[in-house]
Each structure stands twice: as C-alpha cells, then as structure tokens.
Chain A
Amino acid sequence: MTTGTDAGAQAPAVTARRGLLQRGQALARDLWIGAVLVALAVAFSIDSPYFLTRANWLNTSSTATEVLLLAVGETFVICAGGIDLSVGAVLGFSGTAGAWVMAHGFAGATGPAIGPVAVGFAACVLTGAAFGLVNGFLVAWAGVPAFVVTLGTLGIATGFGYLLNNGQEISAIPGSVVTFGNTNLGGWVPVPVLITAVITLWCGLLLARTRFGMYTLAIGDSREAVVRAGINDRRYLLEIYLLAGTLAGVAAVLVMARLGAGSPASGATDNLNAIAAVVIGGASLFGGRGTIIGTVIGTAIIAILLTGLVLVNVPPFWQEVAVGAILIAAVYIDQLRKRKASRR
C-alpha cells in the first residue's frame, strides 16, 4: 500500500479533482498511442499510393488477425499479472495438429468435406485449449512462475509441432478450408477478420464489463485482496490461461485456412508481437491494468508497420526494430507519467 499520497489527499475536494485528472490521464494514454497509429497511417499513405488501397487493407487485416487473437488472450493473462510466452508456439502446434487430423483421419475426403473440416478445426481449438489448461494448472495450483511454465510449454509445443510431420508443414487438407479462409465478404471483409472482430469485441466487453474481467484485473492488482474476499483465484487463473490457449487454437484455424496448410513454424514470431501489442496498448506487465481497445491499437501499429514499411521500400526487417523501439518508448512514457502523478 502506498501512503505517499496522503498529504495531498486529506481534503476531499482535492482528491476529487485528482480523480478526474487521473481518468483524464488514462484517456490521454489511449489517445496518445492512438495518435501514433494515425500518424503512422498518414505517413505511409503520403509516402505510398498503395497504402490506402483495398489490397493493402486485405493484406494488413489478414496478417493482423493472428497477432490480435493471441494479443487478446495475452491481455487477460497480463492484466492478471502473468505472462504467456507459449501462445505463438501453441498456435503453430495446434494448426499442425488440426491439419494432421484432417490429412490422416480423412485422407479420402472430397468435396466440401464439412465433417472432416469440422473435426480438424475442433482439433486445433482443443489442442490450444489443452495447452491453456496445462499452463493454467501449473501456474495456479503448482505455483510455478508463469514465465517458467510458459517458457516450458513454448518449447514443448514447438517440439511437438515439428515431431508431428518431421518439421514439414501439412498441406493435404480439404480445399474448402482454403475457400473458407480466403472468402471476402463484400470484397472488403475476409472471413477470418470478421471472426476475429467478433471475438475481440466480445473479449473487450468480457474484460471491461463482467465479473470475470473484474476478477482478472483484481488478481493482477492484488491477489491477496482477491483471496481474502473469498474469490477462488485459482479457478479464475485457470480460466484466464485456458482463454489464452483457446484463442491461440482459434488463431491456428484462421492461419491454416488462410495459408492452406498447417505449419509448425507459423506463430513463431507472433509471440513477442502479441506481448508487445498488449504492452504498447497500455497494459501493465505488473498486472491490474489493461484494455482490449489498447491491445487493438497496439496490434494495428505492429501490423501497419509490417505492411507499410514494405510499401515504402524499407526492408521489412526494420519492422522488428521499429516495434522494439515503440515498445520501449511506450513503456518509458508510461513510467514517466506514473512518476509525475505520484510526485504531485
């Protein structure tokens, strides 16, 4: 408990003003990072006539879906004071497992093959969920630090993914999967983007407006307070990691549907991008603070950097440099604000 603010807060009127100010600051943080996004978009569209085109929107939004789904799950985990390093690897393994089920279980399937596809998709999601359960169980009940647990399952999922088909991707899946992943509704909205948008909206409400979201943030804020309040903190931690794993499984479905194959290597770079998106979006790595809208903005910045830099003829490898720099800058500015606020 901090007691450093006592002196300034004794008179009620002063405290009320600080409350407004503080809420203004939270808004300013969101606006600030939103302004970075807008500035990037403006700069790229000035620099390249191709930036504000349908083709670039389809490309950018499709690549953003997998990062966003991972980042949305990661938001819950980080808000609860944890970390999930495994989501990218779980995406890779889940996709490979789903494709393996379709390729080996229903080798002769022809036509739309709705049954086999449904089983394959379910295998993806369930594989992701299973890893989420393992992570959650080890963190909540075994008490192993989240960083260690998910670093372990990162390795395990990566290894399983490569073991499944000797490191090769599996592309012998029904053609309807690819059709599903590459259909654009109205020419502008790819099906994976729509699915991601619906899930993201739901998760945004879940975090901000429901008891589950409240407990997620409260666990990250003070686990002791949550336990004393008689809340089953372990159950909620398990559900939080289960959510992150399940969303990684859903992301695996969408990636597989877009690329027409299950690849163990897909998702390998999404891990850090997802965590960066959450942190750029204003979530605290110490837990207790974060929003889905912030994560959406963070993901959009990363996605725009990836496609935009290509359009303006900068080698795409600079994207990783830029994301890293923005990540550090975002956290640094946030720390400055906090220090200023606590000094007042």
Chain B
Amino acid sequence: MSPRLEVRDITKHYGGVQALGGVSLQVNAGEVVGLVGDNGAGKSTLLKILSGATFPSSGQVLLEGQPARFASPADARDAGIATVYQDLALAGQRDVVANFFLGREKLAGNWLARRVGWLDGKAMATHTVSELARLRTRIPDVHLASSDLSGGQRQALAIARAAAWTGKVLLLDEPTSALGVEQQQQVLDLIRRVSGEGIAVLLISHQMPDVLAVCDRAVVLRLGRVAATLARPELTSENLLGYITGAISGRNQ
C-alpha cells in the first residue's frame, strides 16, 4: 500500500539560494512523523510546499500514491491536507461553534433558507459538541468566544477543526510552543487520538520531548537535506540533537 503522504526528491530555490536540496519522506495513515531541524534547515519551506502556499522547484508530492500539485492552500485543503499554523487562524470574538464551522457553515434545510444563507445554529452546535467530545478535547462550552479559551483549548480547537474537515493529512506547526506543561500534554494526547483515527500527522517541532513522546518516526532536516530518519529505538534525544547540529552525520543519505 502506498503511504498517505509521500515527498519525493523535493527541491526549492529562492533565486540562487537553495532552501531544499532533494528532500524525501513518507507519512503513513495513522502515523505521527516529526519534522525537526535547526532554524533555516528547510522545515518552513517544506511546510509551505505541502500546504500549497508555494511550489517546489522540482520533485513530487504524492497523496495516497497519486501525484498532487497544489495551486493554492485551498487546493491542498480540498485534497485532504489540513495545516494548523502557529497563529491558529481563529476568529477571537466568534464562539467555538463559529470557528469550528468557519467556511463550512450548515444552512437550514428549506429552499428559502438556503437562498438567504440562514444558519442552522442548533445543528452546528450539536455537531461541534459531538466532534469535540469524540476527540476528548477539554472545551467546556461551545458558545464561548475562542479568545476566552486557554491557549491549550484554542490549540485543541484548531487541531480538532482541521482533523474533522480534512481526514487525510494534518500538518502541525509548533503546536505546543506557547503552552504550559499540562496543556502541552493535553495537546500531545489529542495528536495521538487524531492519528489513531487514521490521519497521517506531520509534526513540526523544536521541542524534543514532544517529538520523543508522540512521534513514531522523526525526519531530521539539516541545511535543506534529510540528515536522518530516525525510528525507535534510534529515536533518542541524543541522536536528534546530534543530527540537528551536525555532530552526527553521514547516515540515511
């Protein structure tokens, strides 16, 4: 079976500067793969390519074995790749339901209601409650404004939303960087549950403990190339740091 997401020999040049020099990786359904590397290693560039924000200079992205080419972020999303950026893209004064459904509102059933865009508030609230409950996120009230949620709850909302609407691949950009210890743990638990539902998760993180806690494998980028792909039992803090800094080199490409 072909992997859910496959990146084949991707390169990206900005003018004369090479951001990515032939990166390949795979993420299977139900797997959490970490993407780590120092600043400038190419993580952001790869994220931009996968989320449809920019084109690769060469190479291929395959989704379930089929070559995919995204003209825009909307394209990538429609193909089943959801991205949760660090800023989460939540509308602060709108409630949890509105944010969960933003851009995909449920309209009331009859013809006239559809013409005028009449929202089916009750059905939207019910659906939001059941989706959040299924992923066991700790959001107490779906009618709270999203800015009144804690940082962890906001992150959980953004991840749950992305997971609910795009069931194939989830790209997470530093999901725990702004959180306290307990909330980090909650978000990591949520990431596990999301992947447990068969979604392929690519986790970009600077937090080595997070990567060790939640990832099945980790891909280390260094200077635009894959320095190592580490699976257990090689997936250790020492190895990650060694490959990130270049202290260890020469394996796996």
**Which A residues form the contact surface with B (CB < 8 A)?**
1-3, 5-6, 9-10, 12-13, 15-16, 18-19, 22-23, 206, 209-212, 214, 217-218, 221-222, 224-226, 228-231, 288-289
Contacts and interface: CB of A to CB of B under 8 A. Distances in A.
Determine chain A's interface SS by DSSP, over half rule.
helix
A116 B154 CA distance: 58
Contacts of A13: 140
Contact of B107 (A9, A211, A218, A231): A211
B4 to A, nearest CB: 22
B98 A218 contact: yes
B173 to A, nearest CB: 13
A22 B118 contact: no
Most buried by A among B119, B140, B180, B183: B140
Given A211-B117, A230-B77, A222 B150 contact: no
Nearest to B90: A225
Given A22-B145, A222-B91, 13 more contacts: A1-B147, A2-B147, A9-B148, A9-B150, A15-B148, A16-B141, A209-B118, A209-B121, A210-B116, A217-B93, A218-B91, A221-B93, A289-B93
Given A225-B102, A229-B89, A10 B182 contact: yes
The 8 tightest CB contacts between A and B, nearest first, are A229-B103, A211-B117, A12-B140, A221-B91, A228-B89, A9-B150, A229-B102, A288-B93
Most buried by A among B92, B99, B118, B150: B150
Given A1-B87, A211-B105, A231-B103, A18 B148 contact: yes
Interface string B143-165: 11101111111100000000000
B94 interface: yes
Determine chain B's interface SS by DSSP, over half rule.
loop
Contacts of B73: 228, 230
Contacts of A289: 93
A9 B94 contact: no
B178 interface: yes
B231 interface: no
B140 A2 contact: no
Interface of B: 73-74, 77, 85, 87-94, 98-99, 102-105, 107, 116-119, 121, 138-141, 143-145, 147-154, 178, 180, 182-183
Contacts of A2: 92, 147
Nearest to A288: B93
Given A15-B141, A18-B148, A221-B94, A226 B102 contact: yes
Contacts of A18: 144, 148
Contacts, number: 113
Contacts of B145: 22
Nearest to A202: B116
A10 B185 CA distance: 13
B164 to A, nearest CB: 13
Contacts of B105: 211, 214
A210 B94 contact: no
B107 to A, nearest CB: 7
B98 A214 contact: yes
A57 B94 CA distance: 38
B118 A15 contact: no
Contact of A19 (B121, B141, B150, B151): B141
Most buried by B among A1, A206, A210: A1
B180 A6 contact: yes
B107 A224 contact: no
A285 to B, nearest CB: 13
Nearest to B107: A211
A209 B113 CA distance: 11
Contacts of B90: 1, 222, 225
A1 B88 contact: yes
A19 to B, nearest CB: 4
A5 B88 CA distance: 17
Contact of A221 (B92, B118, B141, B153): B92
Most buried by A among B73, B88, B144: B144
A179 B32 CA distance: 74
Contacts of A212: 117
Contact of B154 (A1, A206, A226): A1
B148 A5 contact: yes
Contact of A218 (B88, B102, B151, B183): B102
